A and B are shown apart, each in its own frame.
Chain A
Amino acid sequence: MMLESKNLVKKYMTKTAVKNISLSIERGRIYAILGPNGSGKTTFMKMAAGLVKPTNGTITYEGLPIGIESKEKVAYMSTEPFFYSYMTIADVGKYYQDFFKDFDMARYEDLIQKMDLNMKDKAKTLSSGLAAKLKIAATLARKAELYMLDEPLNGIDIIAREKIINTILEVANDNTSILISSHLVDELEKIIDHAVFIKTGEVVLVGDADRLREEHGKSIVDLYKEIYA
């Protein structure tokens, strides 16, 4: 088991963002964490990334608590832009190269070119679509074991979405796992192995994507509509 959470809880003031989530993420699979905005997807991912500390429960990576070791192997991409305002796209690459042993600068340069970005451009001046592409390029240029992509298609136009999805699929192999959170379910339907439906901080349905389709006689998109309508 790569990532495992047991009875994970996160409370913010009076709101409980995550309620008793127990999940196991296996190697070599693509997971979709599905749910509308505010359902707890981001909080779960941030706890897995070590940015948010759980209020209760445990979350481990390869049996160890989230920490320095897991951060070396997990590449997390947040939904918000997070680069320092002074940074150019080239600076972002240098920063990742300085801190992540698994960062591949040649791949980063290649992805930047493919995404029609310019190394000299400042990260803070990019449009939301280009900033989203930069986040994806920086994250996927790492040769991580687990990729966690929080709403990777947000702000990306329909034409570019396919390119992004293909880029994500390029890093998928038997040794890596990918967690993608999104409410754009149609885009993920065809690529995921596993689906996790989260509603108001709780897992309401989880399982192998093919099995869920078979058991419920519905596509993942239709299941999503049924659960959240």
Chain B
Amino acid sequence: MLKLMKYEFRKQAFSKGVILALLGLVEVLFGYSVIFDNENVLGTSVFLLTMLSFASLIFVAYESIITFSKDLKEKCSYMLFLVPKSTYSIIGAKVLSAGIQVIAVGLLFLAVSAVDFSILVAKYSSLAEITDKVRKLISAVIAYDINGSDVFLAFFNVLLNWISIITVAFFSITLSTTFLANKKFKGVVSFIIFVVLNYLFGLIVRTTIGDQINYTQTKIILDCLYYICFTIITYFGTGYMLDKKVSV
């Protein structure tokens, strides 16, 4: 599976280079604003960093889904499906490499943001007070005292949610390529399946563990367990369809 993952990373390497280059540019802007005390440029760089973080995370997931779709619909699919590996290994490699890329990009932006924030706190002491007040305000609003483990859990929760969305997309695309292969509008149908499945999974989570505004660690853990279940179900469903029905 490691070799399959190596080629998944290779297929998507170019976009990671672009993300790194853009991040470098934003950081140059940030460095300039700190050194020359330019608040306008500082605001712009923080805004760009925030936008780039979200856009990169969304793009990484999107690219994993698009790569999977291409691997089923284009002639390069022969490269993948001629290798003597099980369909479960092929899907596993795709899910793991997608997860690792989301984690890597997420951690990269988290680390860069943390470093930038520390620099700002060191330079502008009033920022530390504001941060403390914001933290207290959030705690008061959600009636919960935030600590390090909460942040970690929340990050883990978002990651699992992201991975489950990717596997649901894999499942929907595979469905359109296999069981719905002879049907018209299979792409539209697969998108509808994707939306419906995500809605149903969300509904299951909301109805069983309740409203997510009043967060507790138990609720986040339950949430994570649900995402793991959804990922497993859609992973095995995709592997089964590829094994029994796929024609590329």
Contact = CB atoms under 8 A, between A and B. Distances in A.
Given A68-B86, A99-B84, A53 B75 contact: no
B248 A71 contact: no
Interface in B38-81: 75-79, 81
Contacts of B83: 71, 99-100
A12 B3 contact: no
A51 B81 contact: yes
Contacts, number: 60
A53 B84 contact: no
Given A51-B248, A82-B75, A83-B76, A13 B82 contact: no
A80 B74 CA distance: 11
Interface string A78-119: 101111111000000001001110000000000000000000
A76 B84 contact: no
B84 A84 contact: no
Residue with the greatest number of chain A CB neighbours at <10 A, chosen from B75, B77, B82, B83: B82
Contacts of B136: none
A80 B75 contact: yes
B79 A83 contact: yes
A86 B15 CA distance: 13
Contact of B82 (A11, A12, A49): A49
A226 B86 CA distance: 44
Interface in A150-204: none
Given A51-B82, A53-B244, A53-B245, A84 B76 contact: yes
A12 B182 contact: yes
Q: Using C-beta atoms within 8 Å of the partner chain, give the interface range for chain A.
A: 20 to 34
Interface residues of B, number: 24
A95 B7 contact: yes
A11 to B, nearest CB: 8
Interface in A35-91: 46, 49-53, 68-69, 71-72, 76, 78, 80-86
Interface of A: 11-13, 46, 49-53, 68-69, 71-72, 76, 78, 80-86, 95, 98-100
Interface of B: 3, 6-7, 10-11, 13-14, 75-79, 81-86, 182, 244-248
27 contacts: A12-B182, A13-B182, A46-B247, A49-B82, A50-B82, A51-B77, A51-B82, A53-B244, A53-B245, A53-B247, A68-B86, A71-B84, A76-B78, A80-B75, A81-B75, A82-B75, A82-B77, A83-B79, A84-B11, A84-B76, A85-B76, A86-B11, A86-B14, A95-B7, A95-B79, A98-B3, A100-B83
Given A81-B75, A100-B84, 16 more contacts: A50-B81, A51-B78, A51-B82, A51-B248, A53-B244, A53-B245, A53-B247, A68-B84, A71-B83, A76-B82, A82-B75, A82-B78, A83-B79, A95-B7, A98-B3, A99-B85
